[in-house]
Chain A
Amino acid sequence: MGSTSKIPEILQHHEAELLSAWLQEITATSNRRGLLKEVELREECREFLSLFREAVRQNSTSTSDIQGIAWQEMRNLLTAISRSRSQKGFSPSETASFVFSFKQPLFEQLQRELAQDGQALVDNIWMATHLLDKLGLFTTEIYQKTREEVIRRQQEELMELSTPVVKLWDGVLALPIIGTLDSARTQVVMESLLQKIVETGSEVAIIDITGVPTVDTLTAQHLLKTITAARLMGADCIISGIRPQIAQTIVYLGVDLANVITKSSLADAFALALQRVGLKIVQRTQP
């Protein structure tokens, strides 16, 4: 690229025109007008323009890298825009369109300015398209990262939510497990169960696996570990909610649950637990 870029100059002189042409372009192509306030959008565009100008000016020779210092502010702006778009429910392409839609007004302006100098026009358009592509892709990356963060947070929340330890009676705890019992889950289950055993001084804990769809050897091992840990704390565990098909599968699998007290329903397990703590449920006699 022989000549230095004309872009900063053009951006400076024609800021107002570019801005209104760009806004027009955005509102014409977007069908989400209601989600974004006109004022906000204008402000974002204006900021983008001035940062773009600054960055290109500082970096007028090497333009390929948008990870440099000169583009720091721009990256911050796009990160903020991308995040807010993602939260408002925009799709990734709609988010990236914010950057890409700037191409048309900019190219038209470049064409008007550099009509006589074909080579300079091509150079400048090439440079601009290169930069805008990168910036557009950058917004997509951020968009995806934002989504991933949301998913990760939800997973963590789900993990917390899905392992409640409830007190059924004085000295009797119940731990209904729903879903897959993987290693991370087991860790949370075990921690919350042991913690609750200490807090309540419980002697019996019922682990209900009615909601566990598959009991394989790993699940069984996790259960056994939890039971052993509880036993070390002085509490006995009863496993309840073993369905017929699970029982048969465990037998074929060869997992040894002989040392564990198991009951088919939570009600049975509760009755046994009450017996263990010296209580009995009796029918009320009529007065």
Chain B
Amino acid sequence: MERPEVMSIQSSADVVLVRQAVRQCAVDLKFSLVDQTKLVTAASELARNTLDYGGGGTVTIETVDTGDRRGVRLTFADQGPGIPNLELALKDGYTTGGGLGMGLSGTKRLVNEFDIVSKVGEGTVVTIIKWK
């Protein structure tokens, strides 16, 4: 598979495709089954956020290699309304959309590196890395 790969997220069917592509990427890097599942679940959460709150966007799937370790980096970007209060959004149980409120905070626990940049009115970019 060619990397980096950019996929569009415009419907819940796309979320399924993103999961499959991320799983394939993790399998290619020989991630353990648990790490595969964690990464795919994190991707699923963020892709759904991009769709539900960001009004659709893109995900970039790429492998990173620092010489001593390898991993997968996922970048979710949308041009949605943005998140006014990031601290609150990252709190367990806080939701504005009727979900469980565990998506962002849970995702943070599932991956090794988590970065979120959001500007109100401009959109949100979430970058995660899962090292092998």
> At the interface, is chain B mostly helix, strand, loop or mixed?
helix
- Interface range, A side: 20 to 34
Q: Quick check: is A200 within 8 A (CB to CB) of the other chain?
A: no
Evaluate contact between B100 and A220: CB separation under 8 angstroms: yes
Partner of A218, one of B38, B99, B107, B109: B99
By a CB distance below 8 angstroms, the chain A residues around B27 are none
A213 to B40 alpha-carbon distance, docked (Å): 9
Q: How many A-B residue pairs have CB under 8 A?
A: 66
Against B, the Cβ 8 Å flags (1 = close, 0 = not) of A105-119 are: 000000000000000
Evaluate contact between B109 and A254: CB separation under 8 angstroms: yes
Chain B CB within 10 Å, residue with most, of A182, A217, A220, A252: A217
Evaluate contact between B40 and A217: CB separation under 8 angstroms: no
Say yes or no: A253-B110 contact (C-beta < 8 A), given A216-B48, A217-B45, A221-B100.
Answer: yes
Q: Quick check: is A93 within 8 A (CB to CB) of the other chain?
A: no
Say yes or no: A217-B106 contact (C-beta < 8 A), given A249-B38, A255-B100.
Answer: yes
Evaluate contact between A218 and B48: CB separation under 8 angstroms: yes
A217 to B42 alpha-carbon distance, docked (Å): 10
Q: Quick check: is A245 within 8 A (CB to CB) of the other chain?
A: yes
Evaluate contact between A214 and B106: CB separation under 8 angstroms: no
| 8 Å CB interface, A238-278 against B | 244-246, 248-249, 252-255
Q: Quick check: is A81 within 8 A (CB to CB) of the other chain?
A: no
Chain B CB within 10 Å, residue with most, of A220, A249, A255: A249
Say yes or no: A182-B12 contact (C-beta < 8 A), given A220-B100, A245-B34, A253-B110.
Answer: yes
A213 to B48 alpha-carbon distance, docked (Å): 16
Evaluate contact between A254 and B44: CB separation under 8 angstroms: no
Evaluate contact between A252 and B99: CB separation under 8 angstroms: no
| 8 Å CB interface, B21-50 against A | 23, 33-34, 36-38, 40-41, 44-45, 48
| 8 Å CB interface, A185-211 against B | none
Q: Quick check: is B123 within 8 A (CB to CB) of the other chain?
A: no
Against B, the Cβ 8 Å flags (1 = close, 0 = not) of A218-245 are: 1011000000000000000000000011
Chain A CB within 10 Å, residue with most, of B36, B99, B100, B103: B100
Chain B CB within 10 Å, residue with most, of A216, A217, A221, A248: A216
A246 to B12 alpha-carbon distance, docked (Å): 21
Evaluate contact between A252 and B109: CB separation under 8 angstroms: yes
A16 to B65 alpha-carbon distance, docked (Å): 71
| 8 Å CB interface, B98-127 against A | 99-100, 102-103, 105-107, 109-110
Q: Quick check: is A61 within 8 A (CB to CB) of the other chain?
A: no
A214 to B19 alpha-carbon distance, docked (Å): 9
Q: Quick check: is B16 within 8 A (CB to CB) of the other chain?
A: yes
CB distance from B103 to the nearest CB of A (A): 5
A213 to B39 alpha-carbon distance, docked (Å): 12
By a CB distance below 8 angstroms, the chain B residues around A214 are 19, 37, 40-41, 44
Evaluate contact between A248 and B100: CB separation under 8 angstroms: no
The chain B residue with its CB closest to the CB of A180 is: B16
Q: Quick check: is A51 within 8 A (CB to CB) of the other chain?
A: no
Residues of B that sit less than 8 Å from A by CB = 12, 16, 19, 23, 33-34, 36-38, 40-41, 44-45, 48, 92, 99-100, 102-103, 105-107, 109-110
